[in-house]
Amino acid sequence: MSTFLFDKIIFGPVKSRRLGVSLGINLLPTDIKVCSFDCIYCECGRNPKKYEKKIVLPSRQIVQQKLKEKLEEMTTANQLPDVITFAGNGEPTLHPEFAGIIDDTIELRNQHAPNARIAVLSNATMIHKKDVFQALLKIEDNIQKLDSAFEETIKLLDCPNKNFNLQKTIDQLASFGGNVIIQTLFVRGNYLGETVDNTTEKEISAWIALLDKIKPSQVMIYTIARDTPIDTLEKVPLTKLNEIAKNLEKVGFKVQVSG
């Protein structure tokens, strides 16, 4: 039930289940979550019903300065990260200076940690913006969420804002031309009296058909690992995740499973 917010712009490094030793960048406020989805499993908790005060995001200049300081500190300690990851208290691509911040991050990475990858964990709601789309093409791990092929499941599980359109999102994901990793969180349980389960045969076959259109370089599948804001959700067993992975591998996808 208890969830948490990142209290810094630069956080970690942390050992990530999916990415290795990861230095995190949070482009959202440090005291409140801001996201275009409101996933019922979000480790940062649910979106506030109302924002009581003005949302203040860190400026491009501050992010650049803090990242530089941290990378210099890590260089001195001889502990450079495997990956620099944009994640944090919501959706990173909502930041209006996202594209410029990516350019700064690439420059700093090249100077201080040339072997580190740059990853963005995103929910794909801002990829219609040309500058966001182009910025995502410049990084190594462009990781976009697709939890179901059915709009009604996405509505139940991810609670997107009213502008969400699944068909448009799929078209935009396909236009990355394979330079995209799809991340899918599998979960079971119930919410508001409805059954939540994106692991059924119907769900999996429709989802694989969409992956076929998107042609991602990799598919990351995982389940809940920490507390979620809704306590009627259950982890999907590793055996089931492995079964889904096998189905994907059979049709040629590269898969990473985190149980």
The answer to whether 256 and 220 have CB atoms below 8 angstroms apart is yes
Q: How far is the CB of 156 from ligand SF4 (least distance, A)?
A: 13
The answer to whether 125 and 164 have CB atoms below 8 angstroms apart is yes
Q: How far is the CB of 145 from ligand SF4 (least distance, A)?
A: 6
Question: What whole-number distance in Å separates Cα of residue 14 and Cα of residue 100?
Answer: 25
Partnered with residue 16 across adjacent β-strands are 20
| For ligand SF4, the closer CB: 164 or 253 | 164
Chain contacts with ligand SF4 (rule: CB under 6 A): 35, 37-39, 42, 44, 90-91, 123, 145, 158
Partnered with residue 222 across adjacent β-strands are 185, 258
Q: How far is the CB of 125 from ligand SF4 (least distance, A)?
A: 8
| For ligand SF4, the closer CB: 71 or 185 | 185
| For ligand SF4, the closer CB: 18 or 109 | 18
Q: How far is the CB of 73 from ligand SF4 (least distance, A)?
A: 27
Among the listed residues 259, 197, 190, 177, the one whose alpha carbon sits nearest the alpha carbon of residue 224: 259
Buried b (16+ CB within 10 A) or exposed e, 188-204: bbebeeeebbbbeeebb
Q: Is the dihedral of CA 112, 74, 122, 117 positive or negative?
A: positive
| For ligand SF4, the closer CB: 13 or 88 | 88
The CA–CA distances, whole Å, from 210 to 146, 159, 182, 186, 214 equal 9, 20, 11, 16, 6
Q: How far is the CB of 38 from ligand SF4 (least distance, A)?
A: 5
Q: How far is the CB of 120 from ligand SF4 (least distance, A)?
A: 12
| For ligand SF4, the closer CB: 38 or 151 | 38
Give the alpha-carbon dihedral of 29, 32, 38, 42, to 10 degrees.
Answer: 90
| For ligand SF4, the closer CB: 47 or 64 | 47
Q: How far is the CB of 79 from ligand SF4 (least distance, A)?
A: 27
| For ligand SF4, the closer CB: 63 or 185 | 185
> Do β-strands 117-122 and 233-234 pair in parallel, antiparallel, or remain unpaired?
unpaired
